[in-house]
């Protein structure tokens, strides 16, 4: 297959894990993998995950992030090259950026892909449909294609034959009208894990009965070293921020361990977490749909079960360090 490009998502100079996942996927498709970075980046790190070339896109108007301006810049580079395939991590940023680029370069757009392969010079992607009930193998009908990869579905792996990639710069033509919306600041709790990047996610639903009881979810997540998630009903009620929402209209996660507390298991929620490696559920309703997908289930009151779990986990940790 011809050259594959990967968008490098980074924040405060730190490259996000979905970028390494996309690089791993890209090198399974092509021997030439071009990493496209807005501003300076750790080229050696990108090379370790399979990038053979790094293109640093530079312009004064790109110093503050604007999805519109970044899309214009990357589209200009793609049109000036022979690259026909661009992979983007399906994060919040990637989901906003990828379709913009696809429109500008008149490319096909394939979102939420969980598997990739090549058939000659054509890319074949597998993506879930109907809230994960079926999987469809799709291929573009266009010359170019932009592919958004579901986070945590492609295991990021370094390559033994890694070499320091060549680095070049590209200077696009950007105007003020290309950056009508600019990201000025991201405010988040220090040390708080994002559900997209956590290996363990503990989520709460309406069964927690109120925002004040989410302290139990936070304590369990802290004991396990995981992130806090929430169902849509909880977020809609204003109990938790949207950044924690797991589900079809929230974030799609695939951690090693997902614990659903007081979550019934609506199909929209299952669509966002059913690909987790191990699923455990706590619910007092033995007929709750969540138990149909759970590897382990506890039928019981979350307010009785969670404190006992926290106590047991702390005891195990203490015994391990003593």
The pLDDT score that the predictor gives to residue 189 is: 55
Q: Check pLDDT > 90 for residue 269.
A: yes
Q: What percent of the chain has pLDDT over 90?
A: 74
pLDDT digits (tens, 9 = 90+) for 114-170: 999 988 778 999 998 877 778 899 999 999 999 999 887 888 999 887 778 999 999
Instruction: Provide the residue count of the chain.
Output: 322
DSSP-assigned beta bridge partners for residue 58: none
Rounded CA separation 281/297 (Å): 5
Rounded CA separation 1/21 (Å): 19
Q: What is the mean pLDDT of residues 253-275?
A: 92
Say whether pTM exceeds 0.95. no
Residue 29's pLDDT band (boundaries 50, 70, 90)? very high
Q: What percent of the chain has pLDDT over 70?
A: 95
The pLDDT score that the predictor gives to residue 185 is: 57
pLDDT digits (tens, 9 = 90+) for 214-240: 999 999 999 999 999 999 999 999 999
pLDDT digits (tens, 9 = 90+) for 56-103: 999 999 988 899 999 999 999 999 999 999 999 998 899 999 999 999
Q: What is the mean pLDDT of residues 33-46?
A: 95
Could you tell me which residue, 133 or 268, shows the higher pLDDT? 268
Rounded CA separation 239/245 (Å): 11
The pLDDT score that the predictor gives to residue 82 is: 92
- What are the chain's domains? 4-178 (3.40.50.620), 200-321 (3.40.50.1220)
Mean pLDDT over the full length of the chain: 91
What is the DSSP track for 45-82?
HHHHTT-SEEEEE--GGGSS--HHHHHHHHHHHHHHSS
Could you tell me which residue, 108 or 2, shows the higher pLDDT? 108
Which residues contact residue 212 at a Cβ distance below 8 angstroms, ignoring those fewer than 6 apart? none
Query: Token pair for residue 297?
Result: 């289930």
- For residue 164, the 8-state DSSP code is P
Q: Check pLDDT > 90 for residue 254.
A: no
Contact 60, 172 (CB under 8 A): no
């Amino acid at each position: 297959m011809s050259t594959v490009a990967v968008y490098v998502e980074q924040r405060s100079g730190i490259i996000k894990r979905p970028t390494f996942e996309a690089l791993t996927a890209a090198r399974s498709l092509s021997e030439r993998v071009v990493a496209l970075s807005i501003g300076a980046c750790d080229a050696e790190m990108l090379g370790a995950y399979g990038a053979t070339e790094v293109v640093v896109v530079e312009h004064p108007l790109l110093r503050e992030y604007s999805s519109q301006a970044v899309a214009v810049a990357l589209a200009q580079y793609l049109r000036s090259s022979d690259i026909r395939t661009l992979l983007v991590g399906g994060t919040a940023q990637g989901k906003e950026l990828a379709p913009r680029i696809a429109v500008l370069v008149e490319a096909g757009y394939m979102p939420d892909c969980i598997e990739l392969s090549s058939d000659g010079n054509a890319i074949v992607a597998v993506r879930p449909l109907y809230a994960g009930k079926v999987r469809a193998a799709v291929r573009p009908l266009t010359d170019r294609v932009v592919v958004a990869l579901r986070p945590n579905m492609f295991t990021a792996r370094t390559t033994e034959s890694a070499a320091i990639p060549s680095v070049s710069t590209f200077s696009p033509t950007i105007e003020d009208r290309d950056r009508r919306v600019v990201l000025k600041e991201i405010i988040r709790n220090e040390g708080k894990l994002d559900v997209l990047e956590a290996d363990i996610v503990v989520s709460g639903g309406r069964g927690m009965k109120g925002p004040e009881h989410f302290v139990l979810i936070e304590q369990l997540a802290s004991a396990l070293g995981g992130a806090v998630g929430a169902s849509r009903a909880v977020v809609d009620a204003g109990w938790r921020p949207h950044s924690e929402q797991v589900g079809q209209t929230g974030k799609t996660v695939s951690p090693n361990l997902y614990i659903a507390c007081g979550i019934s298991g609506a199909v929209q929620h299952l669509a966002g977490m059913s690909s987790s490696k191990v699923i455990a559920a706590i619910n007092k309703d033995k007929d709750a749909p969540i138990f149909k997908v759970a590897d382990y289930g506890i039928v019981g009151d979350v307010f009785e079960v969670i404190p006992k779990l926290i106590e047991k986990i702390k005891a195990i940790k203490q015994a391990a360090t003593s």
